[in-house]
Amino acid sequence: MNEEKNQKVLAIVLAIAVIGLGVYKLFFSKNNAKDKLDTETISIVTDSNRFYTVVGCIDKYYAYLSSDNKDNLLILLSDEYKKENNITAENIYSYIKKMDNFYTFSPSLMYYQRLSQDTYKYYVSGTLEGTYLNFKEEPEEIYIVVILDESNTTFAIEPYDGEIFNK
């Protein structure tokens, strides 16, 4: 009788463990897969026209940051990034660093990923250097994402943690 009782308890514990594992896989492993970068679909940018087009987008972004133009900054941020963080004109500087002076962005490395027929996502690494009247700030390493829609000739910006460059 005791042996049957132990087998039933073991079967219940195993069933709970299997159900718990199933729930974990269903709800949590998909979120982790979404956050991970698919490095097999990402390539280094070798086309100089695309390279400098993306750099021009980043320069425009930093020009808006320097001029404190919240409305234009809000337009430049990607819709997905704004939705994920509930970004508005009032709280925009909680998510992006406010710049008081003019800055020069110097790209060092750029990767791209094709999202659709005419949409590309560019992962950019470079340095940002502040310029004052007679003084230059120490360059700061910057990572940024530019989403370029060639069919509509539009772009969007997302701050980035540099995961692809730190591997």
Query: Is-above-0.85 flag for pTM?
Result: no
The verdict on 67 and 128 lying in the same domain is: yes
The verdict on 92 and 123 lying in the same domain is: yes
The verdict on 74 and 98 lying in the same domain is: yes
Contact 164, 39 (CB under 8 A): yes
pLDDT digits (tens, 9 = 90+) for 55-87: 999 999 988 888 878 888 899 999 999 999 999
**Containing structural domain, residue 20:** 1-36
Q: Which of 3-7, 20-24, 163-167 has the lowest mean pLDDT?
A: 20-24
The verdict on 83 and 100 lying in the same domain is: yes
The verdict on 28 and 60 lying in the same domain is: no
The verdict on 17 and 48 lying in the same domain is: no
β-strand pairing of 102-114 with 42-44: antiparallel
Residue 97 belongs to domain with CATH number? 3.10.450.540
The verdict on 119 and 145 lying in the same domain is: yes
Q: pLDDT band at residue 31, thresholds of 50, 70 and 90?
A: very low
Task: Give the total number of structural domains in the chain.
Answer: 2
Q: How far is Cα 45 from Cα 94, in angstroms, rounded to an integer?
A: 31
Contact 86, 118 (CB under 8 A): no
The verdict on 144 and 72 lying in the same domain is: yes
Q: Is 164 part of any domain?
A: no
Structure confidence at residue 132 (pLDDT): 63
The verdict on 86 and 22 lying in the same domain is: no
The verdict on 31 and 59 lying in the same domain is: no
The verdict on 12 and 63 lying in the same domain is: no
Q: Is 167 part of any domain?
A: no
Q: pLDDT band at residue 38, thresholds of 50, 70 and 90?
A: low
Q: How far is Cα 143 from Cα 160, in angstroms, rounded to an integer?
A: 5
Q: Is 45 part of any domain?
A: yes
Structure confidence at residue 57 (pLDDT): 93
Q: Which of 2-6, 21-25, 48-52, 61-65 has the lowest mean pLDDT?
A: 21-25
Rg of the chain on CA atoms, in Å: 23
The verdict on 97 and 70 lying in the same domain is: yes
% of residues, the chain, pLDDT over 90? 32
Structure confidence at residue 35 (pLDDT): 45
Measured CA distances, 43 to 48, 81, 126 (Å): 14, 23, 17
Structure confidence at residue 32 (pLDDT): 42
pLDDT digits (tens, 9 = 90+) for 103-138: 788 999 999 999 999 999 999 999 988 766 555 667
